[in-house]
Amino acid sequence: MIYAIFIFNNKGNPRLTKFYTPIEESDQQRLLGEIYQSVSNRTAASCNFLESSLIAGKNRIIYRQYATLYFVFVVDEGESELGILDLIQVFVEALDRCFNNVCELDLVFKFQEIHAILAEIVSGGLVLETNLNEIVASSKSQMPKSKRSGGLNIGTTLGSFATRF
Amino acid sequence: MVVNNQMKGLKTFISDLRNLKEEKDEEKRINIELAKIRAKFQSSTLSAYDRKKYVSKLLYIYMLGYPISFGHLEAVNLLTATKYSEKQIGYLAVALLLNENHDLIRLVINSIRKDLLSLDPDKNALALHAVANFGGRELCEAVYPEIQQLLMSAATENIVRQKAALSLLHIYRKFSDIMDMDLLEPIIMLLDDDDLNVSLAVSNFVFLIICREPSLHGLVCRKAIHKLKLIVSGRGYSSGYIYYSVPCPWLQVNLCRILLICHEEVTDETTKRTLINVLDRMLSIFKDYKDNKHLNVINAILFDAIKLAFAVDDSGSLYQKCMKCLGEMISNKEPNVRYLAFDTTAYLISCGHSLPSLKTHKDLILSSLRYKDVSIRKKSLELLYMMCDSENSKTMVNELLIYLPYLDSVSQEDLISKVASLTEIYADDYKWYVDVNLQLLRVAGKSVNDDVWHQLVRVIVNNESIQQYAVRNLFKLLQSDSTHDSLTRSGCYILGEYGYLIANEPGSGPLQQFITVYKKLHTSSVGTSVLLLTALLKLSNLQPDLHKRVAAVFKRYSVSLNTEVQQRACEYLQLLTLPKEFLSIVCEEVPVFTIPAKKSLPSISNRSDVSLTDSVTSTKEIDVSSSLPGFYRLCWRDKGILYRDSQVQVGALVEFRDLQVCLSLYFENRKTETYTSFSSTLLRTFPNFKVDSSFTDTIFSPDKQLQQRFSVDRLDELFDPPIIRVSFLAGVMRKVNLMLPIVLSKFLRPTSFDSSTFFQRWGLIGVEREAQLAFGLNGINSRLDERRLMKIVTGLHWGICSGIDTNVSNIVGAGILQLNAQNIGCLLRLEPNYQNDMIRLSIRSTNTTVANVLATNMQDILKNSFYSNT
């Protein structure tokens, strides 16, 4: 199962934290810091997997970088590494479709909606839905019909990076 | 009703924070905001909209890492609101801010139930997520019927059903007693659902079911093969589930993992052939999609298909295909693929599959030891370790040693412990063992951990034939000016023990030995200095000429500032003044270590028992001393504490049903902290001994009790009591071995005879099939106690036959043991001597071995059951 999901930028500022296993509040930030440390030091030639013992004994950190943002999943033995790697891709593509060219600022100002979209993909630490159309459709049905003015479109969009892999 | 556009305050607040220059300002700004929100919450005129806005602000502050100490009640209020946008924020806040045991959760249970019953699928979804993400016992108990209804009803929308499946899975995982077990089969049936997403959600559920319920393996196996076949053959899914031209890869992977566990249920040839065909097809997709840029999913499927293919049939037609795929992946340039290829290969070797063609890739794997990514370095080392066998061990170790100087310190340490354990497992001549280990100490002393040099010393001490060779070489290495602590320690220790063996060789006489140790004394750490002083003492014992010099050294160090060194020096100085005979007794050569340094070579067939980290300890004898008091007590009692320390307590309950003996273990956490990686493994077992059920959680929180159940249906042969190892992480790794109170006498059925029948049978069996033992009690203060003795004898399931022995203090008993479907009669005569606290025990049985086992068991138990404090 998935123990935790983090999104943070290349300076270590958290953009989303979600735990599927109870973790003391005081430990949550420490975990985030340690994961940021180990992930941000890795080069582009490294693989996207790390073994760690940060949560619940032995587990693996699976991460992907898009523009300025790191998407990090901490999972147990039961998950396929490459499966999770592509789940991150699905997540980013879903964000991209919901926000028309998503960028870091969307994640900052609309964190509630990011949580809602994530809830369509992962529930209780397990993969719920992988069909992009379904995810986008049900996320949008829950979302208020906000007009995308494009006013937030400053900075690099993740979408242009979503096709990198 | 547009959330974002209206919550201007939240946007302004976030923008404000982003515009701040200094980190200190952020904290200031947040504290001001928190004070403002607190004041707003206390005012009586808070509108629903404001509440939503302020709770959202709190959530943002929480995400930035500031503790949130208030506002929980407002979050609860939002959750119970009727407006969807408020409800949504409320659910989010409750999920993030409250944990499953928070008192306020009680307040939302009713509201969550209402949302589950609602006809609005969005509300259903919110409530189902809540249960899956933070459902505690109380919440789960309350909403279980509604969730079950949602999952099973055909009227429910698929999107709600898949969420219901995961919520129900949460309940099954954490509180399986709430679940109706009859529901498991219908859930497995849902694997067939036309909607692939329901199937995917259910597959997660099924995975946990087969881990817990072996009886359902057959059903699951058939369903999973059928589903996999449909997907692979391109039927049974809509185009929405094609991810970069691969149909639902996540479900394919899950199905493979499910089948890996339960594939053994495939007994008939047709099904097996179907499965092999499906796997064949899956292994071919590599070719079909070679041009596809998105190879991740394809590889994900391949890795799991390969594991399954090997498990199903590791010699047939699939083998070549698997090896070809694996070979291509190992040599793949993409780091992710290479990493997983190493991982998969190591897994396959650990399962006992032979992969001879792997040899062609050895150089590539070796060169990966220097790859720029630490994850890959680690994996390649693990794989090389697994590839080692008795044939290639020497070349492999030599090649690893070539890489040693070029590695970073973490990898060095890892490599050293692996090499050390390989040399130990595969050493057929000890010279090689010593050579390699000395090289480790010399080249990378700073990365050698204590275990490695302890083990080296142990092997040298236990093998007389290499002592001279070892001490000669160590002495040479010690001549260097800079030696690392671990080399100094092991070198001087061995020199102190066996220096005399090279005392007559040129250049290594007693004086040179003294000077060598003495030189090291100046530059060593405290721990090492203490060891060096001991080495000097031993040297002076064997070489009386050194007596004066050594005494002078001790004198100098007897004023050392370090108390430990000072104390040692003073004590040794005193020893030197005592008569010579006394010193030679103190400095007696160390006896052979009782833990065998090396037992048998693990053969290929039991290779799977050798785990990556545990290979050294797994060959050692098992230390169960800490559980023995509990074990002895539970041999004659049905329930009690098997083991207890400051961290854990293990309770045991033995039950008897007809001929069956069941043992339940209850693990309790005695601290307030949560342990992780909690596991219990059988180290010793016997064929009739079965594990009925076991906990699956590895997290062991203080409020939880973990349970494990074992049973023995019938006995086919004699056995040794099973041993389990309990291990968990509580800051450090803790391991405790427990001997389980399953002994032969548990299977005895008490019977009673009158005097004449007893003597007739006693005589019939005869003295030649009698086991007689006479023994005293362990412990100086132990006293035999009549009532307790009686209790123990009946507790060991002997039927008491009274009035038979002329001496009234003697105990006479009888029992029947069913072994290998035969009834074996057993008779007991126990003669206690209360004056001298001695016991004489005679057991006669139609089977001599049974009599012997019963008698020795009983002797152990009786010896250890009369300590004065019990």
Looking at residue A162, its pLDDT comes to 47
| Domain contains B225 | no
Q: What are phi and psi of A76, to 5 degrees?
A: -95, -170
Q: Is A46 on the interface with B (CB under 8 A)?
A: yes
Residue type, A129: E
Looking at residue A56, its pLDDT comes to 65
Q: Which of A32, A50, A126 sits opposite B169 (nearest CB)?
A: A126
**Residue range B374-431, pLDDT digits in tens:** 888 888 888 888 888 877 888 888 888 888 888 777 778 888 888 887 887 777 778 8
Asked if this assembly's ipTM is beyond 0.90, the reply is no
Q: What is the mean pLDDT of residues B251-272?
A: 88
> Is pLDDT of B629 > 90?
no
- Which of A7-21, B2-16, B162-176 is predicted with the least confidence, judged by mean pLDDT? B2-16
> Is pLDDT of B86 > 60?
yes
Q: Which residues of B touch A145 (CB under 8 A)?
A: 2
Q: Is B606 on the interface with A (CB under 8 A)?
A: no
Same domain, B679 and B820: no
Is B57 flagged in the annotation as binding?
A: yes
Give me the CATH number covering residue B793.
Answer: 3.30.310.10
Looking at residue B648, its pLDDT comes to 86
Q: Does the beta-carbon distance from B699 to A21 stay under 8 Å?
A: yes
Residue type, B160: V
Q: How far apart are CA A68 and CA B449, in angstroms?
A: 40
pLDDT band at B167 (very low <50, low <70, confident <90, very high): very high
Q: Which of A49, A51, A126 sits opposite B336 (nearest CB)?
A: A49
Closest residue in chain B to residue A109, using alpha carbons only: B11
Tokens 């504490």, residue located: B641
Structural domains in chain A, CATH included, are 2-142 (3.30.450.60)
Q: Does the beta-carbon distance from A49 to B339 stay under 8 Å?
A: yes
Same domain, B647 and B767: no
Looking at residue B70, its pLDDT comes to 86
Shortest distance, CA A94 to any CA of chain B (angstroms)? 13
- For chain B positions 57-116, those within 8 Å of chain A (CB to CB) are 59-60, 63-65, 67, 84-85, 88-89, 92, 99-100
Same domain, B723 and B779: no
Parallel/antiparallel/unpaired status of strands B676-684 and B822-833: unpaired
pLDDT band at A148 (very low <50, low <70, confident <90, very high): very low
Q: How far apart are CA B10 and CA B444, in angstroms?
A: 57
Same domain, B640 and B729: yes
Same domain, B631 and B765: no
| Residue-number span of the structural domain to which B835 is assigned | 744-863
A66 DSSP β-pair partners = A69
Q: Which residues of B touch A151 (CB under 8 A)?
A: none
Q: Which residues of A touch B1 (CB under 8 A)?
A: 144
Looking at residue B644, its pLDDT comes to 84
**Residue range B448-490, pLDDT digits in tens:** 888 888 888 888 888 888 889 999 999 999 888 778 888 898 8
Looking at residue A61, its pLDDT comes to 93
Last residue of a domain, one of B699, B720, B739: B739
> Is pLDDT of B127 > 90?
yes
Same domain, B21 and B51: yes
Shortest distance, CA B324 to any CA of chain A (angstroms)? 20
| Domain contains B176 | no
| Domain contains B545 | yes
Looking at residue A157, its pLDDT comes to 55
Q: What Rg do the C-alpha atoms of chain B give, in angstroms?
A: 35
Q: Which of B2, B64, B167 sits opposite A14 (nearest CB)?
A: B64
**Residue range B718-746, pLDDT digits in tens:** 888 888 888 887 766 678 888 999 988 88
Same domain, B404 and B519: yes
Closest residue in chain A to residue B201, using alpha carbons only: A128
Q: Which of A29, A47, A58 sits opposite B65 (nearest CB)?
A: A29
Give me the CATH number covering residue B466.
Answer: 1.25.10.10
Q: Does the beta-carbon distance from A123 to B167 stay under 8 Å?
A: yes
pLDDT band at B294 (very low <50, low <70, confident <90, very high): low
Closest residue in chain B to residue A85, using alpha carbons only: B296
pLDDT band at B155 (very low <50, low <70, confident <90, very high): confident
Q: Which of B14, B67, B100 sits opposite A25 (nearest CB)?
A: B67
**Complete edge-to-edge strand list for the sheet that includes strand B689-694:** B639-644, B648-657, B660-669, B705-712, B689-694
Same domain, B545 and B688: no
Looking at residue A24, its pLDDT comes to 80
For residue B751, give every residue at least 6 positions away whose Cβ sits within 8 Å of its Cβ, in sequence order, or none.
B799, B814, B815, B816
| Domain contains B230 | no
Number of H helices, E strands in chain A: 6, 7
**Residue range B38-80, pLDDT digits in tens:** 988 888 778 888 888 899 999 889 888 888 888 888 888 888 8
Same domain, B732 and B756: no
Burial (CB < 10 A; 0-12, 13-18, 19+), residue B670, is: exposed
Closest residue in chain B to residue A135, using alpha carbons only: B159
Shortest distance, CA A142 to any CA of chain B (angstroms)? 7
- Which of A75-84, B216-225, B415-424, B630-639 is predicted with the least confidence, judged by mean pLDDT? B415-424
| Domain contains B518 | yes
- The domain tally of chain B equals 4
Q: What is the mean pLDDT of chain A?
A: 82
Q: Is B297 on the interface with A (CB under 8 A)?
A: yes
> Is pLDDT of A73 > 90?
yes
**Residue range B636-647, pLDDT digits in tens:** 888 888 888 878
Looking at residue B3, its pLDDT comes to 43
Residue B658 Ramachandran class (φ > 0 left, ψ -120 to 50 alpha, else beta)? left
Q: Which residues of B touch A28 (CB under 8 A)?
A: 65
Last residue of a domain, one of B686, B713, B739: B739
For helices B196-212 and B158-174, the axis angle rounded to 10 degrees is: 10
| Domain contains B143 | no
DSSP string, B173-211: HH-TTTS-GGGHHHHHHGGG-SSHHHHHHHHHHHHHHHH
Same domain, B708 and B752: no
Tokens 């080296």, residue located: B456
Looking at residue B99, its pLDDT comes to 78
Same domain, B550 and B634: no
| Domain contains B409 | yes
Looking at residue B601, its pLDDT comes to 33
- For chain B positions 652-711, those within 8 Å of chain A (CB to CB) are 676-677, 698-699, 701
Q: Are B821 and B718 in contact (CB under 8 A)?
A: no
Q: Are A99 and A148 in contact (CB under 8 A)?
A: yes
Same domain, B37 and B90: yes
* Nearest alpha carbon to residue B439 among B407, B390, B405, B466: B405
Q: How far apart are CA B665 and CA B741, in angstroms?
A: 11
Q: Does the beta-carbon distance from A82 to B299 stay under 8 Å?
A: yes
Q: What Rg do the C-alpha atoms of chain A give, in angstroms?
A: 15
Q: How far apart are CA B827 and CA B558, in angstroms?
A: 66
Q: How far apart are CA B114 and CA B129, in angstroms?
A: 14
For helices B48-63 and B23-42, the axis angle rounded to 10 degrees is: 150
Q: Which residues of B touch A32 (CB under 8 A)?
A: 65
Is B289 flagged in the annotation as binding?
A: no
**Residue range B543-585, pLDDT digits in tens:** 888 888 888 999 988 888 888 889 989 988 888 888 877 788 7
pLDDT band at A144 (very low <50, low <70, confident <90, very high): low
Looking at residue B286, its pLDDT comes to 66
The share of chain B scoring above pLDDT 90, in percent, equals 11
B685 CA to centre of own chain = 17
pLDDT band at B304 (very low <50, low <70, confident <90, very high): very high
Give me the CATH number covering residue B689.
Answer: 2.60.40.1230
Q: What is the mean pLDDT of chain B?
A: 83
| Domain contains B614 | no
Q: How far apart are CA A113 and CA A115, in angstroms?
A: 5
Q: Is B744 on the interface with A (CB under 8 A)?
A: no
**Residue range A44-55, pLDDT digits in tens:** 888 999 888 777
